[in-house]
Structure 1
Amino acid sequence: MHLLNPNMARTTPPPVMEARRWLEGVTFSSKQPLINVSQAAPVDPPPVALREAIAQAALEDDSAHIYGPVLGLPELRSEVAAQWARIYDGKVTEEQVAITSGCNQAFAATIATLATPGDEIILPTPWYFNHKMWLDMSGIAAVPLLTGEGLLPDPDEAARLITRKTRAIVLVTPNNPGGVEYPAQILRAFYELCAAKGIALIVDETYRDFDSRTGAPHDLFTSDWDDTLIQLYSFSKAYRLTGHRIGAMIASPARLAQAEKFLDTVAICPNQLGQRAALWGMRNLGDWLGEQRTEILDRKAAIVEGFPALADNDWKLRGTGAYFAYVKHPFDIHSEELAQKMVRKIGVLCLPGTMFVPANDRWGRTELRIAFANIDRSGIAKLFARLEKLKF
């Protein structure tokens, strides 16, 4: 290949796709079928009622098959604003909501409005790899903010990393990959830091619907927030719409006007059927979503309850929540090598910590991410039984 953008060349391959290649040539027996805990997305389709609503829209709504508004269906934007104002007991208007082709696109659009090559964005580590990948291919420096034992970012440490090139701090809560839920006071401290420094606070709440806490997870929408705060959200996890690619960007109308340029250029408009599905889900699936949350929280409880057996073998649970358990393994082996060997030895596919940290970060070599979105309490028990037997 003679011509290649050097920023693209420096960007790592997609981690989930890379991990899937580890399955090539491996045969799994009926006694030990593959346990795939590599991807944080539901594989089941939406509930039947939602699929019926999608089918009805496809058959009866002619406008679902043509271009729509770049910033999304007005009805969906209005519904998001109304529900957000209620959930957060805050102030959110339709003009502060944009619908995007998935949450990753919301992040890309946000960064496009904020930063140019050579600028800096602060990311707590372990970070969400697609955030890092987008910054790399855009020529924007990802500045790692190391987290401690509890995987919680420290606003004071972040303050020391801010330079004249810093454009934003990114927080993901509940966290991917760590699973931890950031306390409201930490989010408030980061908001005040960013406001004081004149930079943006980007809060990715893709997994908000599976937060174990009751009530609003923070109070950032209760004041005049949109000079500083940009919130990202995904409908994919809540309503199993991963293939429809529907997300949201909540920000000032002025910023959304700039984001519209980006969104129009890369997709013109979000998926029309997916938007109608998200709107129908928001209006009709509250109880169902509550049941899904209860199931995910039960899986989190199963992780916590079952982990002492692994702890006896010197495993350590660093964080758990939403779809994730982030663990430290006890072996004198690099986590990437370990993850590949686990496929063949015990039929488990997960991601190594090296996919979530800078290349020189020593912690990544000892850590693994387990995504339990698609294994229930019984599956978690089977996973732990295999991990208990793992020896090197």
Structure 2
Amino acid sequence: MTSATRHTFSPPVMEARRWLDGVSFPEDRPLINVSQAAPVDPPPEPLRRAMAELVVNEPQAHLYGPVLGLPPLRAEVAEQWSAAYGGTIAADCVAITSGCNQAFAATISAIAEAGDEVLVPTPWYFNHKMWLDMAGVIAKALPTDAALLPDPDKARALITPRTRAIALVTPNNPAGVEYPAELVLAFFKLAQETGIKLIVDETYRDFHSQSGAPHALFQQDGWLDTLVHLYSFSKAFRLTGHRVGAIITSPGLLAEAEKFLDTVTICPSQLGQYSALWGLQNLREWLAGERLEILARRAAIEAEMPKLTALGWTLKGCGAYFAYLEHPFAMPSNELAPALVKEAGVLALPGTMFMPLDDPDGSRQIRVAFANIDAAGISELFERFAQLRFSLAPSVAGK
């Protein structure tokens, strides 16, 4: 039996959770779960109260809505994004989706068919790779440099007549790296010149360390013909279970995406959309506080890192919700990560989940999603890592 789903791997987060089966953790040393990059807290109380009012008093929250989303939400996104990025975005350039993963799937369905190619920097976001696999679209690995930044010139060399897009995630999942504005612009110009799309997934843009616009893509002439911007309300307002994301691109491309969206969910969650709209209109200061807390946790990671650096670890990237580490041990990360559950009481994802099977770098890397642990938890995490006594890799042992 063959099927589209058999062309890809099992969901990594679900696979990692199975490592917990049969393992117990003492009260004085509970599990530290840094495997999933999603808030575990519910939306803030003011938003929950607003949602309760919507459930009772807004009949449309329970009915089908437009396939491309709630018009007031589309208009609000267009207005706020225009102000934030210094560009001009019309409401009909915005579509609301059932989460950002669906935004990516709809985009790929609208621009590519089986046998086409999409360039994806490595380490990649595994759900992007999974969807490309299931769609029969080739995920063409674009290796990154020591700072985990992709090179436009290397990307140019990989483009073929079957290439349909370059997909960037910034701030990056899994590495946390923030792509500089000039680098993102260079990729835009490359995509524009070669007639392909530039997909920029900015799920974590609200936690960027830079104040102001992270890039100037919406200010470029002809951006509508090249740029596909993706976004998630899950991280901003903790609406993970309500599944609300967005696409910003040309109305013509959205008309193609609409075909996909209509056959999958018909419309995004109405309650989720009304909630996202309320959040955009009322939670700006609260979200600014959330950003500062995430930046403080990033600083805590960097402050704790010297104790691991002395033991052969390397911090490859850090930002948004993520720290991406290179470990010093002889065993590959796909063996190390399950071992960490029993030896350290830590659930983290191995770099092999974010890399092509034939790329050896993945075996040396671990992703830590730190959004759900505070500074004290980060300190405890690094202390547990520092106590590990696995055999070291030869290159480290010889230093």
Instruction: List aligned pairs for 1:179-218, cutoff 5 A.
Output: 179-218=176-215
SS in 2 for 1:227: helix
Task: Give the secondary-structure state (helix, strand or coil) at the position aligned to 1:226.
Answer: helix
Identity over aligned residues, as a percent?
61
How far the C-alpha of 1:374 sits from its partner, in A, is 0.2
User: Deviation of residue 4 (structure 1)?
Assistant: 3.1
Q: Write the mapping of 1:168-187 to structure 2, written as runs, cut at 5 A.
A: 168-187=165-184
Give the aligned residue type for 1:225.
W
Q: 1: distance between equivalents of 2:223 and 2:5?
A: 34
Give how far 1:227 is off: 0.2
Residue among 251, 262, 265 paired with 1:267: 265
Correspondence for 1:106: 103
Q: Could you give the per-residue CA deviations for residues 201-249 of structure 1, whole angstroms, max 9, x where no partner exists?
A: 0000000000000110000001331100000000000000000000000
Q: 2:13 is aligned with what amino acid?
A: V
Q: RMSD across aligned C-alpha pairs, in angstroms?
A: 0.6
Shift of 1:10: 2.4
1:368 counterpart residue number: 366
Give 1:185 shift: 0.3
Partners of 1:27 and 1:143 in 2: how far apart? Answer: 41
Equivalent residue number for residue 378 of structure 2: 380
**d(CA) in 2 for partners of 1:306 and 1:35?**
16
Aligned pairs (5 A) from 1:113-152: 113-152=110-149
Matched, 1:42 2:39: yes
Point out where structure 1 has 5 or more consecutive residues left out of the alignment. Answer: none
Please give the residue correspondences for 1:318-333 in structure 2 after superposition, counting only pairs within 5 Å.
318-333=316-331
- The separation in 2 between residues aligned to 1:10 and 1:120, in whole angstroms, is 15
Counterparts of 2:217 and 2:138 in 1: how far apart (Å)? 27
Aligned residues: 389
- Tell me by how many angstroms 1:259 deviates: 0.7
Task: Report the counterpart of residue 254 of structure 2 in structure 1.
Answer: 256
Name the residue aligned to 2:355. Answer: 357
In 1, distance between residues paired with 2:181 and 2:234? 24
SS in 2 for 1:257: helix
Alpha-carbon shift at residue 283 of structure 1 (Å): 0.2
Q: Take 1:239 and 1:4, find their aligned partners in 2: how far apart are those partners?
A: 40
The aligned residue for residue 51 of structure 1 is: 48
- Please name the residue that 1:66 is paired with: 63
Unaligned runs of 5+ in 2: 391-399
Residue 300 of structure 2 corresponds to residue 310 of structure 1: no
Whether 1:21 and 2:18 are equivalent positions in the alignment is yes
User: Is 2:332 the partner of 1:334?
Assistant: yes
* 1:31-75 superposed Cα distances (whole Å, 9 cap, x missing partner): 210000000000000011100111101100111111000000000
TM-score for both structures, normalised by structure 1? 0.99
Instruction: Quote the Cα distance in structure 1 between the aligned partners of 2:52 and 2:20.
Output: 35
Partner amino acid, structure 2, of 1:100: T
Distance 1:90 1:231 in 2: 13
Q: Which residue pairs with 2:343 in the alignment? A: 345
Structure 1 residue runs of 4+, over 2 Å off? Answer: none
